Every structure is written in C-alpha cells, then in structure tokens.
C-alpha cells in the first residue's frame, strides 16, 4: 500500500473540496425535501431517506468545518440513528 504525503496547502485544498461537497449535498437534500410531494405516500420513504442524509451530512459538516462546540456523543447518536 502506498502512502501519499500532502503539503499543508494540499491538505487545506482537499479539506475545502470536501466541505464544499458537503454543502452541495446539503443544498440538494434540502431541495429534494422541499419539492417531494408530501401528500403522496409513495414519496414518504424517499423523504425519510433525504432527511437521514441531511442528518448524516450535518455530522460531516461539523467535523470538516472544525465545529468543536458540537458534542461528540450527540454526533455518534446521529450516526447510529438514535
């Protein structure tokens, strides 16, 4: 297995890309959640999945953005679906 070493600038760029991707997932998920028809039962499972993605992505965003104020135990509960 090869090991790649990144410069500080490269690590910062990779972190920024990951955070941008996380923000994009947030926007797409919020759009889907807003646009899915609430009155049609066949979309309820999809809405539940979108909400789950939003919750999981919130953990990713907290870690990538350096949100040290968010409780680790709370993030674990989100990951475990509790």
- State how far Cα 32 lies from the chain centre: 15
The tokens for 1 are: 């297995």
Instruction: Please state, for a pLDDT cut of 90, what percent of the chain lies above it.
Output: 83
- Domain borders along the chain are 8-79
pLDDT tens by residue, 62-82: 999 999 999 999 999 999 998
Single pTM value for the model: 0.83
Task: Give dist(CA 56, CA 41) in Å, integer.
Answer: 24
| 20 to 2, 16, 65, 66: CA distances (angstroms) | 27, 6, 10, 14
């Amino acid at each position: 297995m090869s090991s790649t070493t990144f410069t500080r600038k490269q690590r910062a760029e990779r972190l920024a890309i990951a955070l941008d991707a996380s923000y994009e997932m947030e926007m797409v998920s919020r759009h889907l959640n807003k646009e899915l028809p609430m009155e049609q039962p066949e979309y309820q499972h999809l809405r539940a999945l979108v909400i789950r993605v939003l919750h999981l992505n919130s953990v990713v965003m907290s870690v990538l953005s350096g949100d040290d104020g968010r409780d680790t135990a709370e993030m674990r509960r989100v990951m475990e679906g509790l």
